[in-house]
Amino acid sequence: MSGAPPPAIEVHDLTVSYHAKPVLWDIDVEIPAGQLVGVVGPNGAGKSTLLRAILGLVRPASGWVRIDGEPRRRGRHGCGYVPQRESVDWDFPVDVLDVVLMGTYGNLGWFRRPGRRERERAMHALEQVGMQDLARRQIAELSGGQQQRVFLARALAQDAPVYLMDEPFSGVDAATEAAIFEVLRTLRAAGRTVVVVHHDLQTVEEYFDHVLLLNLRLVAAGPIRDTFTRENLLATYGGRLTLLDEAAEAVRRGSVDTTAWRPPPDGAS
Amino acid sequence: MSLLDATSLPVLIVAALAASCCALIGSFLVLRRSALLGDAISHGILPGIVVGFALSGSREIVPMFIGALVAALGTTLLTDLLHRRLRIDGDAAMGVVFTTLFALGVVLLEVYAGRVDLDPGCVLHGQVEYAAIDPASFAILGWTPPRGAVTLGVTLLLDLVFVLLLWKELLITSFDGDLAHSLGIPPGPLHLALMGMTALTTVASFEAVGSILVVAMLIVPAMVATLLTDRLLGVLLAAQGVALASAGLGLWSAQRLDTSVAGMMAVSVGGLLAVAFLLAPGQGWLPRRLRRLSLAIRIAEEDLLGSLYRAEERQAGGGGIERPSGAPPHHPAWLRIGAGLRLRWRAEVVKSDRTLTLTQRGRGRGRRLVRRHRLWENYLSDLLALPASHLHDPAHRIEHFLDEELTRRIEERLDGPERDPHGRAIPAADHEPGEEER
Ligand SMILES: Nc1ncnc2c1ncn2[C@@H]1O[C@H](COP(=O)(O)OP(=O)(O)OP(=O)(O)O)[C@@H](O)[C@H]1O
Ligand SMILES: [Mg+2]
């Protein structure tokens, strides 16, 4: 057991709150290296929040995250991130190549500009997603599927050991979906770990080796065959979460308005 | 009076330098969608300026800048505090903070007005007009620059160094803060640095052009620029052009009308914005209208050619001989008449005995249109299995937008059909004998 490589991502007892209201409860999970990992759960389950917490974009209320067995580092050995498409302003005055080049900024260090080597890497990434002909296109003139490919190319240019992707398949046609999946398989073949938030339950078994079922808490995690079961899906998507919801609401109320509410002296409520 | 004589030139230099450094920093504010922040900073720093001025008792820039920087950070942090702790909406929080600070500044100004030589009017409107009688204490090559030009020149240089050094950091934090953060480029400190440069630029420009114009010069040139170009470097350069033009225009018109230079600069830059809204090649109102109009004319022309072509077909097939006298009636009358005139002028139709006849060139265009129409009907009935009665309308719309290449690919896909779903022959792609190519 001691010879096993460290997990690509280790999440320990992670709780994340927005405005004191927890939206992820005590997530404790290890994500094995070199696999395609799906993150599945209903809307508002906290999937995006989990990715953002792993990246360090939101500060957890408690718990910690390790990447490759070490505390999270930024820059060179950081995680590649493909955010949800709506997260940026697509009217920003840059072209496709400029956006993909941004993936290389982390390796450059302060003040240095991307040079020929970075340009070549960006062009290579664009070729991998089949967008090389649109390199000089203004980003406002892209279709939704093309925008998604640009984000993917930007992550590829980043050349990270671990990739976190938030719904890369949303709103793309079948051809683009196949192209994106092909890129994911290439990454896996190169030994990278790819964590993908995914909504289409039909394709989960086909696409992923490993799955995280999430709904405010971790319902199950493990290899697809043992984990992607009917019972687990029911537990993820079924109701029976009202108690957790109410508890979260109570925490929020309690911490905003601590003076108005006091526990009864005898501790019974 | 010329813009380049001994009294006007110093004014022009100071005004242009102020406009230029405001436009440079302001471009990044606009691209970050924080135009209001420029407004907030330039108003919020007033109490800092007054206190710095009062404490030092002089109009040196350093104490005023320190006061302004403190006030600028105060504006940013207070806004953040209200937003996070009291959950006030971001814009509202900013509005509350900067108006309050500005009011405080005005009060302080009145309080100190007796003791120090700082005139409220000059804070609001600036005093660029005095540039000529306020020279620096040194000369370059025998020429003594106005004092304001020295401060502003140094500021512009600092702004340039800031932008050039941190180009990629400013770009990535403006476009995608989350990505920047995950790559180890912290958006927070860069934002604060930009606020600091905004404060510096604002303070330096205040004296020359006053607080009202500073806001206009921070925001408006970049807004004009984003209408003109869609590349970052283009936006920065165009904003510089607009800033310099409004300095020149402002001074010129202020001399004509004998009024405030700063005021006329603000009016000029506003005027340039209006012109850009109307005339900007890509997004302007007029070019957009013209493009729509030329599309409408082309469609009316093609519809007329198509109906003439079909009439010829019917005639050749022994059908009726009545000819349409203009484009089909679903176009407005002026468009039908215009289309007919243009086609005659281009010799695609000729009129005799009150009827229109296709020339060879017009016949080619009509034939290609009818060909696109019928191929598309075939394609639709193949692909969507629509009944024949539902095919005409969509084909009538799309026929104006398919190009030769796409039409050929549709034809290939359909294995070169001879007839459309209604049984009418699909005209050939290449021209018939005796018919010249377009
Ligand atoms: N910035 C924020 N401030 C406050 N609440 C937030 C914020 N972001 C997310 N939330 C809340 O956190 C919960 C989880 O959101 P999250 O975006 O992680 O869900 P998700 O699983 O990604 O959903 P979806 O499938 O819709 O993308 C939701 O209830 C949401 O309302
Ligand atoms: Mg989400």
**pLDDT digit string, tens, across residues B226-262:** 999 989 999 999 999 999 999 999 999 999 998 888 8
- Residue type at position B135: P
Helix (H) or strand (E) holding B253: helix B232-257
* Predicted pLDDT at B207: 73
pLDDT classification of B355: cutoffs 50, 70, 90: confident
Helix (H) or strand (E) holding A196: strand A193-197
Q: Whose CA is closest to B18, among B237, B222, B215, B181?
A: B215
Contact by Cβ (8 Å): B79, B97:
yes
Q: Verify whether ligand 1 is closer than 6 Å to residue A259 (CB atom).
A: no
pLDDT (average), residues B19-32 = 94
Closest Cα in chain B to A136: B231
* Predicted pLDDT at A265: 41
Is it the case that residue B9 has pLDDT exceeding 70? yes
DSSP-derived 3-state class of residue B272: helix
- Bigger pLDDT: B194 or B54? B194
Q: Please tell me the distance from the alpha carbon of residue A176 to that of residue A143, in angstroms, as a whole number.
A: 11
- Bigger pLDDT: A126 or B84? A126
**Cβ B179–A74 below 8 Å, yes or no?**
no
pLDDT (average), residues B400-413 = 81
What are the tokens at B173?
A: 């934090």
Highest mean pLDDT of the ranges A23-37, A105-119, B329-343, B391-405: A23-37
Which whole-number Å values give the CA distances from B121 to B39, B118, B125, B269, in the listed order? Answer: 19, 9, 6, 21
Q: Verify whether ligand 1 is closer than 6 Å to residue A176 (CB atom).
A: no
What are the tokens at B205?
A: 């420009």
A50 Cα–ligand 1 center, Å: 10
pLDDT (average), residues A126-135 = 92
Share of chain A above pLDDT 90, in %: 54
Phi, psi values for residue B303, rounded to 5°: -65, -40
Q: Please tell me the distance from the alpha carbon of residue A12 to that of residue A28, in angstroms, as a whole number.
A: 5
pLDDT (average), residues B113-119 = 65
Mean of all residue pLDDT scores within chain A: 84
Chain B residues in contact with A108 by the CB 8 A cut-off are 168
DSSP-derived 3-state class of residue B145: coil
A26 Cα–ligand 2 center, Å: 19
Lowest mean pLDDT among A165-174, B312-321, B415-424: B312-321
- Evaluated on CA atoms B50, B51, B57, B63, the torsion sign reads negative
Helix (H) or strand (E) holding A243: helix A242-256
* Predicted pLDDT at B6: 72
**Contact A109/B at CB under 8 A:** no
- Residue type at position B38: G
Q: Please tell me the distance from the alpha carbon of residue B424 to that of residue A123, in angstroms, as a whole number.
A: 49
* B417 dihedral zone (left: phi>0; alpha: psi -120 to 50; beta): beta
Note the pTM of the prediction, 2 decimals: 0.81
Chain A residues in contact with B184 by the CB 8 A cut-off are 74-75, 78, 106
Domains and CATH numbers, chain B: 8-215 (1.10.3470.10), 288-413 (1.10.10.10)
Q: Verify whether ligand 1 is closer than 6 Å to residue A47 (CB atom).
A: yes
**Contact A11/B at CB under 8 A:** no
Q: Please tell me the distance from the alpha carbon of residue B176 to that of residue A4, in angstroms, as a whole number.
A: 37
Q: Please tell me the distance from the alpha carbon of residue A49 to that of residue A58, in angstroms, as a whole number.
A: 8
Phi, psi values for residue B4, rounded to 5°: -110, 10
Phi, psi values for residue B178, rounded to 5°: -65, -45
B314 Cα–ligand 2 center, Å: 60
A47 Cα–ligand 2 center, Å: 6
A75 closest CB neighbour out of B184, B230, B234: B184
Q: Verify whether ligand 1 is closer than 6 Å to residue A154 (CB atom).
A: no
pLDDT (average), residues B41-66 = 82
Helix (H) or strand (E) holding A194: strand A193-197
Q: Please tell me the distance from the alpha carbon of residue B38 to that of residue B24, in angstroms, as a whole number.
A: 12
